[in-house]
Structure formats: structure tokens, C-alpha cells
Structure 1
Amino acid sequence: MKKLLLPLFIVMLLVNCSETTGESMTVSGNVKGLKKGVLYLQKVADSTLITLDSLEINGDGNFSFETALESPEIFYLYLNKEDKNDVNDRITFFGEPGIITINSIWNAFDTKAVIEGSETHKKLEEYRKVMTRFNTQNLELISAANNPETQEDMEVMDSLRKANDKNILRSYLYSLNFALNNKNSHIAPYIALTEVSDANIIYLDSIYNSLSPEVANAKYGRALESYLEGIRSNQ
């Protein structure tokens, strides 16, 4: 269900539905313990990760960026620690107009990040917390199925397969319900596009039709509308 990379046409929809409206976002904070490195504020445009701004850190972990944006959307804060280790170096956050504060530590940059100032990001964290449980259970089931002793028992293997299918279905339904239950948040069309874009158009339609006017007219709302129009035109 979950995609590591968005289908190209969805990415293009997100890009084409973005317009500048004069609003801005300030992202500031501190990376505790960071003495040397470069911070980058990034987002995806034309299916490519682009850098909006950068800041060289030399002895002080404080940072601040400002960028224009239309409405809440996904941004990335990337840290190049110059340690030849790319693990834990990128924070994903839902930016929105106003002031966003991100505080973290240099050696656990993404896992210890505390993000404040974005109501949409709070919704993203709420969603991720539950999805992490589904993903953990999926990994446990896969690990059990890969056990040589387990593979010799067809009854156990069948039970594990059914449990995994049930877990995937539950996570899928959770994503759909989360989007439907958050019609006033920009997280709803974002989840529809990035997590359940292959769902039956009836469910995607339900999500879109439930959106508040503000969300429907914003970046991800318009992208979802265009995505649905594309599906209908190919039916």
C-alpha cells in the first residue's frame, strides 16, 4: 500500500497545483551538539528534491529559514554533518504559513526532532504513530515467515499469510478513515494521494467530497481533484 516513491503523475499533480499566494513560512530552531555542517531546507518539485535555502553551521547549532508557500505542504530539513554517514539526516515535516520550530540533536537528527507550530504536522505525527504499529507487526510476521523451521509447517505459514493480509487491510482502512475523519485538515488529501491512491475511486471521491472548502482549494486538495479527474477520463 505505502509507496516509497510517489507515482510520477501524482508528483506532477502536486507540482502543477502549487501557486504562490504571498504567504511565508519561517523555520527556525537548534541542533544541539552540532558544531560543523550544512543545513538545507528542501521540498519536491517536478519529481525532484530541490534545495530552497541552505545554512553553513560553524560552532552554533541555531538556524533560521524563510520561504514562500501557498498552503501546508511537505518540506524536508536535511543535515549534512560531513561525517560520511547519511543515516538519520533528514527530517520530514508538514510546513504551513507562520513560524515552525524544529529542535533536535546532531547524532539523532530525525528521530529526536521536536516540531512545533504546525497543526497539520501534529496530524501527520498522529497518523504515523499508528502506522508504525502496523508496520512493526508486518515486519514481525515477515520475520516469522522467514524462519526455516516455520517454512516447513504449511499450516503455520498459511496462518502467518492470513495474519499479514489482515494487518495490511487494517492499515489500509485506517488510512482511509483517518483521511475521512480529518476533512478540515490538509493531511486528508495528502494521505489520499500518497498512501491510498490506488483505492477504489468511490473511497477517494468520498474523501474529496468531505473536504472543507479551504482544504479543497489548497495544494493537495486541488491535486486530489485533478487525480480523480484523470482516473475518470481513463475509465
Structure 2
Amino acid sequence: MKKTIIAFAAILLVIACSKKESTDGLHITGNIKGLKKGTLYIQRIVDTSLVVIDSIKMDGNSAFETTIKLDSPEMLYLFLDRGVTNSLDNNILFFAEPGNINIDTNLDNYIAGAKITGSKNQELYEQYQKINSRFIDENLSMVEPRFKAIKRQDQKALDSLTAKEESNIKRKYLYATNFALNNKDYEIAPYIALSQIYDINVKFLDTIEKSMSPKVAKSLYGKKLTKYVADIKKQQEAVPATPAAASAQE
């Protein structure tokens, strides 16, 4: 009886350890339709450079699977080395978080065709990108009119386009700020602040930083945002901003 109890306790311990490992790690599964051969590289940004943290050889099977250590939600890249071409369409950006995530795509539309499931932060990031792309498209739509206005030396048209561009940028920054504040319980909030509106007036970044939940504040991007805001404040205290510089950040 005693041996049975000990054995049962040992089984429970193994189960508990496996659950802990699956919680702390990132289990990635996926399929790249049409891929026969190549290598997948999972990358992260370290000091502004992409660093490989795992690789998967693909040979005859388009499905893939791997597990990596991931302590905090983080933007990662799934880079495909096709072996035969240097296609620009080869790096999928995805917001990974501990647990299970699945990435399905195809060889012809590797990035555009990607469907990523299993990550709440990824879901929120896609929502953000859907609206943010409208601001990007609006700016692009003004490139040709600006070129033509410069060519015919039409200052009135140039001033009008400049005003529209500035208005578009303000709306873009306002949307990013509100999105971060509305999603303060997720790591997407400090990520948006750091990657999209890092050059906005520090008072907005400070508001986002202070709104983060305790869990998010302890995350990778939460800590980075806290440090970034503190560094900006320290710089501003050392060198007071001129009225012109202060208004330019608003």
C-alpha cells in the first residue's frame, strides 16, 4: 500500500512538472502549404538585430512543430529560407506568448496568407494593424499629388497636403494611444507604445505606463516601457525643452 501511494505521488509530481513546463514554454505548430524543402528559423530582436533562437528543417513534410523557452509575451519572427530564392516575402511577425500557438500559411503568400491562432496579443495586434493600415494608406495616397505639386511649384497645394499629412499623423498617434490604454491588461499595450509612438510627448507614454496592470508591468515590454519613460524624463530634467521642441511633440 505504501509503495502504491509513493508511486501515485510520483506520477502527480511528473504531471505537475509537465504542466509547469508547458505553461512557461511556447509550443508552436503549423503548416506551410506547398513547401517541400527549406529551413524555418524562429528569431527575436536583440539589440536591434534579429537573432535565431530555433531552427526547423523541412524536408518533404509541410507541417512543423517545435517548443522554445519563452518567459514573457514577445514579438517573434518566423523566417523561411526557401533554399532557391531570396524572396522578400519570407518573414512572418507574430506576437508569441507562453502556451500553444499555430501558424498556417502557404508558399505563394507566405506573409499575407498567414493565419495565426492561440495568442490573445496576436489577435489584438491584428485588430490594431487593420486600422493602422488605413493611416498608412492615406499617407501613401498623398505621395503622387505632392510630387506633382512640387513639379509645378504649387505652394498652395503643398501647404494643403502638409496639413492633411500632419492631421493624419495626429489621428494615427491618438488611435495608438487609445488602443494601448484600452488594452492595458495585455502586453500589446507597452509594445504599441514602444514601437509605434515612441516619439510622442512623454506625458502620453507616462499615462500608458501607469495604466499597465501589475502583470503587464512585469513583462518584457512592460519593463522596457517603464525604463524608456524614466530615461526620457531624466533627459528632459537635465536639458529643459524649448517651447518649439515641446510643441513639436504634442
SS class of match (1:165): helix
1:118-153 deviation per Cα after TM superposition (whole angstroms, max 9, x unaligned) = 000011111111111100110001122112687443
CA distance in 2, matches of 1:151, 1:137: 22
Query: Aligned AA for 2:28?
Result: V
Give 1:221's aligned residue.
222
Change (3 A) 1:153 1:207: same
Structure number with higher helix proportion: 2
The one of the two structures with greater contact order (alpha-carbon pairs below 8 A, sep at least 6) is 1
Query: Aligned AA for 1:29?
Result: G
CA distance in 1, matches of 2:233, 2:77: 33
Query: Aligned AA for 2:73?
Result: P
Give 1:17's aligned residue.
none
CA contact (8 A) 1:150 1:156 kept: no
Q: Structure 1 residue 193 and structure 2 residue 200: aligned?
A: no
1:178-225 deviation per Cα after TM superposition (whole angstroms, max 9, x unaligned) = 111111111110111111111222111110111111111111111111
Query: Aligned AA for 2:49?
Result: T
1:168 CA drift (Å)? 1.1
SS class of match (2:200): coil
CA distance in 2, matches of 1:182, 1:154: 42
Query: 68-77 vs 225-234, which deviates more?
Result: 225-234
SS class of match (2:108): helix
CA contact (8 A) 2:92 2:111 kept: yes
CA contact (8 A) 1:25 1:98 kept: yes
The alignment's TM-score, normalised by the length of structure 2, stands at 0.82
Matches within 5 A, 1:102-181: 102-147=103-148, 151-181=152-182
CA contact (8 A) 2:177 2:193 kept: yes
SS class of match (2:52): strand
SS class of match (2:169): helix
User: Runs in 1 of length 4+ with deviation above 4 angstroms?
Assistant: none
Give 2:46's aligned residue.
45
CA distance in 2, matches of 1:187, 1:130: 15
CA contact (8 A) 2:28 2:102 kept: yes
SS class of match (1:197): coil
SS class of match (1:107): coil
Query: 94-103 vs 157-166, which deviates more?
Result: 157-166
Give 1:76's aligned residue.
77
SS class of match (2:142): helix
Q: Which runs of 5+ in 2 are unaligned?
A: 1-22, 238-250
- The alignment's C-alpha RMSD in Å is 1.5
Corresponding residue pairs, total = 214
SS class of match (1:104): strand
CA contact (8 A) 1:31 1:105 kept: yes
Give 1:230's aligned residue.
231
CA distance in 2, matches of 1:167, 1:97: 36
Give 1:16's aligned residue.
none
CA distance in 2, matches of 1:169, 1:83: 43
Identity, % of aligned pairs? 39
The alignment's TM-score, normalised by the length of structure 1, stands at 0.87
